[in-house]
Amino acid sequence: QKEVEQNSGPLSVPEGAIASLNCTYSDRGSQSFFWYRQYSGKSPELIMFIYSNGDKEDGRFTAQLNKASQYVSLLIRDSQPSDSATYLCAVTGPGGSYIPTFGRGTSLIVHP
Amino acid sequence: DAMVIQNPRYQVTQFGKPVTLSCSQTLNHNVMYWYQQKSSQAPKLLFHYYDKDFNNEADTPDNFQSRRPNTSFCFLDIRSPGLGDAAMYLCATSRDLGDLGYEQYFGPGTRLTVT
């Protein structure tokens, strides 16, 4: 059974700080890793995608992948109250899998 | 803009009264998915289509059915909604990334209330 684990939170950070969201996965063969942002009552929105070990940066967001440790993280720099949402981690398996496994999400609260 | 569209955005139905949710896409993606999401839970996959090939998750209740008449449209039918079926229903499509897998895009969702 493939599993994707996230701390449900809430993670509370002050405005302007770095928010660090973490995700671990059980399938060592997992190939692609996605971070979604989901505001309350809304659908998930894809914000980052990473498949190689290391860091990938997009604006204030950085995804970090460590396949040896089966760990993927999302850093949000200069956090804003508008970043307050649930962040879902999703993982797909090898060989061009098109069925992701989702974590339950981490709730982030950025307070002014 | 190319997108995934779901209708209606909010649906109220009575216990046991059939309901149909619709999804359309202008992305021309060949994979479409239906998810159920309840509060503070991960999206739960109900069905997916790879082109016309239909795949039913093993734990999807028989009460849920789906149709995909063409590439652009997909429907979720709930034959006899129970109170436990109240949830957000999410349609998604996927873009092929080759060996890297698929990148999913979600529609805005339909919030189903069962009274």
- The predicted-structure confidence for A21-50, as pLDDT tens digits, reads as follows 999 999 999 989 999 999 999 999 999 999
* Interface touch A99/B45, C-beta < 8 Å: yes
- Phi, psi dihedral angles at B44 (to 5 degrees): -110, 120
Is the per-residue pLDDT at B3 higher than 70? yes
* CA pair distance A102, B20, nearest whole angstrom: 25
Tally of CA atoms within 13 A in the half-sphere of A108 that contains its CB: 29
Residue type, A46: L
Radius of gyration of chain A from its Cα atoms, rounded to whole angstroms: 13
Tell me what the pLDDT averaged over chain B comes to: 93
- Minimum distance, in Å, between the CA of residue B63 and any CA atom of chain A: 22
How far does Cα A76 stand from its chain's mean position?
A: 10
The whole-number pLDDT of residue A10 equals 95
Is the per-residue pLDDT at B65 higher than 70? yes
Instruction: Identify the band that residue B97 occupies on the pLDDT scale cut at 50, 70 and 90.
Output: confident
The whole-number pLDDT of residue B2 equals 61
The whole-number pLDDT of residue B1 equals 62
Decide if A61 contacts A69 (C-beta within 8 A): no
Residues of A whose CB is below 8 A from B102: 92, 96-98, 100
The whole-number pLDDT of residue A98 equals 87
* Interface touch B42/A102, C-beta < 8 Å: yes
| Residue in A90, A98, A103 closest to B31 by CB | A98
CB contact, 8 Å: B41 with chain A?
yes
Residues of B whose CB is below 8 A from A102: 42-43
* CA pair distance B82, B73, nearest whole angstrom: 25
User: What percent of chain A lies above the pLDDT cut of 90?
Assistant: 87
Higher pLDDT, B52 or B91: B91
